[in-house]
Structure 1
Amino acid sequence: MPLVTTTEMFKKAYEGGYAIGAFNVNNMEIIQGITEAAAEERAPLILQVSAGARKYAKHIYLTKLVEAAIADTDLPIALHLDHGADFDICKACVDGGFSSVMIDGSKYSFEENIALTRKVVEYAHAHGVVVEGELGTLAGIEDDVHVKADDALFTRPEEVEEFVTRTGVDSLAIAIGTSHGAYKFKPGTKPQLRFDILEEVGRRLPGFPIVLHGASSVPQEFVAEVNKYGGNMPGAIGVPEEMLRQAAQMAVCKINIDSDLRLAMTAAVRKHLAEHPSDFDPRQYLTPARTAIKEMVRHKIVDVLGCAGKA
């Protein structure tokens, strides 16, 4: 099975009241852990690559690893560029075999965002590639995305129809209170997502797929595991998973997951090296790391996204 676009995935997800997991990948073990879980649960899958991942692993290595995953699992898999900063990186990914790209023009004015997004859409659609745009700005840090909390902006529902119509995007990322990275809400605060915004966006764009970024749940057991073996990560409250499930039952068809995977992998590596300090074979400590990724992805597919058995 070749790479697929997200078009049919999102149509089924919207109608079925579930979301597709978009998991960030950086190396072989992460890709293997994600795809093994998805294959066992027969879940459709989006593997997404950030600009930082392309710098780290190189475009060609990542695309070949994804090709191997498709051959190994026979799953419907989309390969997506996460947070494309400009036309050039989106073009490079379209030309380099991606089936989906995101152009993030959210830092620009409304008109500038439309112009940039439309340019990417015109090029991508001419090559059979779908495009995700963004309205609203999430706070936080993830790879090359750095936005201060004071600069975060909720999506304005009254703008979404014009944006989608004028750009021709295939899906839209919106800001309803999530944020990039592991640290979202301070202990003692009550996490809250703006479901009123999501509901209004869904009303204005019936049947149109909405995307949620910055949706890591920050599993505290992994934070504790990392700290137990020499880490110094502060406690934090992530987005409650019941809120993500609610979003998936509304208009949200794609939920991005990255920090949860990093925490699970790091905790497994730290634990293994603490228990086997003389071990210097990467295969020994990356094996439990891959397993931790797999179990985290399985949990997200089954208990949060609701897409098990939907491949």
Structure 2
Amino acid sequence: MSLVSTKGMLLDARQKGYAVGAFNANNLEMAQGIVMAAEKEKAPVIVQVSQGGAEHGGLEEMAAIIKSLAAKASVPVALHLDHGVDVVYNMRCLRVGFTSLMYDGSKLAFAENVRITREVALAAHAVGVPVEAELGKVPKDPTGITLDDLKKYMTSPEEAKAFVEQTNVDALAIAVGNMHKMKIKEAKIDVERIAAIRQVVAVPLVLHGASGVPDEAVTAAVKAGICKINVHTQLG
């Protein structure tokens, strides 16, 4: 198979009530392991390269590796940019053949996040590539984060609805108690919030930081509306 877009994958997941695994690869061996595991499970898979992670394997090099693996794979494989934090980097990924982008403007004010995300989506959609965005704040490190902090960072259904309508993104990463870089599965996920966002947002929802989410909470999150599960920390 050749690389596929995440759009069809995630829309199917949303319609049928399951989630697609999205795993970060920083080198050849990680990418090989991800695709081999997907083939063993006979499941579609999203191989992600983050803007920071590309510093290890190189952006062009990782794109070439994953394209080669996808061409030989027996399951659908998508190549996705994880946490692209500027427009220029998203455009670089578009040029080297990524089949899915992410602009992460979650640190910005709502209006600025909308403005830049919409720019990325317009450019990507012109060549048929979907875009994921993030609203709310998923902490990059759990150190010192309190429950009150997490509540303050969470995505509101009202803002999620407005954001998707104004940006025309294809998937939305939300903050619902999840955190990055958690090595122990102890995140407290607000499943009711996921369900509330799912009711008002017409695009697939994404759960970042799933390495720190208990298995039963992942299952509940998928039932509530999550369609893409991001895993990196567990991979080492």
TM over 0.5: yes
- 1:207-243 CA-to-partner distances (Å, cap 9, x unmatched) read x200000110xxxxxxxxxxxxxxxxxxxxx321111
Aligned counterpart, 1:124: 124
Amino acid at match of 1:198: I
Contact 1:140–1:149 (Cα < 8 Å) also in 2: no
1:118–1:147 Cα change, 3 Å? farther
Task: Give the Cα separation in 2 of the matches to 1:204 and 1:15.
Answer: 15
Task: Give the Cα separation in 2 of the matches to 1:147 and 1:51.
Answer: 22
Aligned counterpart, 1:248: 222
Task: Determine which of 184, 200, 203 is the counterpart of 1:204.
Answer: 200
Task: Give the Cα separation in 2 of the matches to 1:47 and 1:163.
Answer: 26
- How far is 1:148 from its partner? 6.8
Amino acid at match of 2:214: P
Contact 2:80–2:98 (Cα < 8 Å) also in 1: yes
Contact 1:118–1:168 (Cα < 8 Å) also in 2: yes
Aligned counterpart, 2:86: 86
- How far is 1:28 from its partner? 1.2
Aligned counterpart, 1:231: none
**TM (normalized to structure 1)?**
0.71
Amino acid at match of 2:194: L
- How far is 1:103 from its partner? 0.4
For structure 1, the residue ranges without an aligned partner over 5 or more in a row are 217-237, 263-311
Paired residues for 1:156-305 under 5 Å: 156-183=156-183, 191-206=187-202, 208-216=203-211, 238-262=212-236
Identity across matched positions, percent? 42
**Which structure has the larger Rg over C-alpha atoms?**
1
Aligned counterpart, 1:38: 38
- How far is 1:183 from its partner? 4.4
Aligned counterpart, 2:75: 75
- How far is 1:140 from its partner? 2.8
Aligned counterpart, 1:304: none
Higher relative contact order (CA 8 A, sep 6+): 1
Task: Give the Cα separation in 2 of the matches to 1:242 and 1:200.
Answer: 19
Task: Give the Cα separation in 2 of the matches to 1:106 and 1:59.
Answer: 23
Task: Give the Cα separation in 1 of the matches to 2:32 and 2:96.
Answer: 21
For structure 2, the residue ranges without an aligned partner over 5 or more in a row are none
> Which secondary structure state, in structure 2, belongs to the residue aligned with residue 159 of structure 1?
helix
Task: Give the Cα separation in 2 of the matches to 1:244 and 1:2.
Answer: 29
Amino acid at match of 1:201: I
Paired residues, what number? 232
